[in-house]
Structure formats: structure tokens, C-alpha cells
Amino acid sequence: MLRIGIVGITGRMGRTVLEVAREVPGIEVVAGLLRAGRDPADVAASLPGGLALTPDLPAFLRSIDVAIDFSHPDLTAVAARAAAQAGVPFVSGTTGLTEPHRRALEEAAERIPVVHAANFSLGAAVLLRLVPELARTLADWDIELIERHHRAKRDAPSGTANALAQAILAARETVVPRIVHGRGPGEALRRTGELGIHAVRAGGEVGRHTVLLAAEDEALELTHWAQSRRAYARGALEAARRLRGRPPGSYSFGELLFG
């Protein structure tokens, strides 16, 4: 049995991981890390029984085989450092990380296996693999990324849009594209090599990413959309299963799935 602990168990994704894990054989969620100051008794009232809920990181890590984190960048960094000390593999889906947060994950990866992915859905992982090939093959086509998410999302553009943009930049070796966020007054004209990213925030949209490649007379559009957070939860649980037993290091979700 793989014992999972969830960092951010009170959030939308934390609760979804908990729900999906009940359908996956060989996996059990046994613990949840709460943010400092939250009363475990209050939280327990809205979650299934039998979970060890605590804001105490060492206690949380003692009872689990792998940590799955969908929380806030500051908590991600602290939890990753503690997981490294405790020797617990770390799966993180938290987005909006800045340089110090990424560094904390990299340092943790010197001692434990770590996977961070902005999108744990299978379809998005495949899209991320396809995009460099398309960007290289259609080398002089314009590329724009359009992402849509629910109104409560805290970061923009999405981590997935950033990951797609980085994959495109790396693939376009000869042209150095300039990233343009949105397109407002004074920026209407598209310049050669630009990579536009457009973030839409509306309603309850779970997450949709479109890669638009366009030439003068034709265009190609690939869209992935998550119809439920369960897609991300299933992927994160699969990543946890595949991460256990690996040597310390920083793994991509694609590497764990297809490597």
C-alpha cells in the first residue's frame, strides 16, 4: 500500500486527490498538512474520517511514503525542504512558483525524488511533447497560446501556458521569440517571432489551453481541456506511484509517464 500525504488538503485540488485516491487500488491517503493556524478539528468536520490532519510538518511526513502538494508556493517550498530532510518523495502541482520556490525544489531534489508539473493531466503531458515538434516543423508560422481558467485562479498566465511557451522557445532555435502577454492598445501589430499568451479568467472553467499555429492561408489549433479536476488528481497519484523508489533527482511528469 502506498501511503500518501496531501499538502493543501483543504483546497479544491487537495480534496479532489482525496476523492480520486479512494478509487485507485494500492493507494491510500493517510494524512493532510494544514496551513499554520488552522484548527484540525474544524477541518476534520468537512473531510472523511481516519485522516491524520496536522499543521506539524515532521509529524505529517512521519506517516507517509509520498507527499502530494497542491497548495501555495510558500508552503510548497517549506514542505519540500522538510520532505528532503525526512527522505519523503515529493510530487508538486502548485503553480505560480518564483525563483526561490523553484530553488527549494531543486535543492530538495538533491536528497529525494521530486516531480513538479504545472499540469498533471495526461492530455496536457502529451500536448507538451507534441508542441516542440510542431514549432520546429512549422518554423515560420505564428504561435499564440490561449488559456482559460476559473475566476478564482491566483496566477496568470497559467503554469501550463508558461511550460508550453518555454517548450516552444527551446524548439525555435533560429528565431528568438518575444513573449507578449495579451495584446492591448499600442501593441496591436504582431511582430515576427512574437509568442502571444492570452489568459482568460471566467466562471468555473477547470482549465483549457489552446496552441494556435497560423500561416497566411492556413492554421492548426490544438486544444486540451480538463473537464474535471479529477484529471489532474489521477495524474498526480500516478506520478506518486512512479516516483517511489527512484533515486534522488528532479523528474518531469513526461519522463515518469513516457521515459
Ligand X SMILES: NC(=O)c1ccc[n+]([C@@H]2O[C@H](COP(=O)([O-])OP(=O)(O)OC[C@H]3O[C@@H](n4cnc5c(N)ncnc54)[C@H](OP(=O)(O)O)[C@@H]3O)[C@@H](O)[C@H]2O)c1
Number of Cβ within 10 Å of residue 52's Cβ equals 16
60 lies in the site for ligand X, by CB under 6 A: no
70 lies in the site for ligand X, by CB under 6 A: yes
State which residue, 122 or 180, has the beta carbon closest to ligand X.
122
Would you state the cell numbers that stand for residue 91, as one nine-digit string? 510530487
Please tell me the distance from the alpha carbon of residue 165 to that of residue 216, in angstroms, as a whole number.
22
The residue count for binding ligand X (CB under 6 A) is 22
Strands 113-116 and 66-69 turn out to be unpaired
Place of cell 480534496: 15
State which residue, 28 or 74, has the beta carbon closest to ligand X.
74
State which residue, 95 or 210, has the beta carbon closest to ligand X.
95
Residue 47 · residue 31 · CB < 8 Å: no
Would you state the cell numbers that stand for residue 179, as one nine-digit string? 513573449
96 lies in the site for ligand X, by CB under 6 A: yes
x-marked contacts with ligand X along 125-164 as a string, rule CB under 6 A: ----------------------------------------
State which residue, 10 or 162, has the beta carbon closest to ligand X.
10
CB within 8 Å of 129: residues ≥ 6 apart: 254, 258
State which residue, 13 or 27, has the beta carbon closest to ligand X.
13
Q: By CB under 6 A, which span of 83-91, 107-115, 117-125, 139-147 interacts with ligand X?
A: 117-125
Q: What are phi and psi of 235, to 5 degrees?
A: -65, -40
Integer CA distances (angstroms), 184 to 180, 187, 251, in order? 10, 5, 37
90 lies in the site for ligand X, by CB under 6 A: no
93 lies in the site for ligand X, by CB under 6 A: yes
Amino acid code (one letter) for 74: D
5 lies in the site for ligand X, by CB under 6 A: no
14 lies in the site for ligand X, by CB under 6 A: yes
Residues that bind ligand X (CB under 6 A): 8, 10-14, 35, 38, 70-72, 74-75, 93-96, 117-120, 232
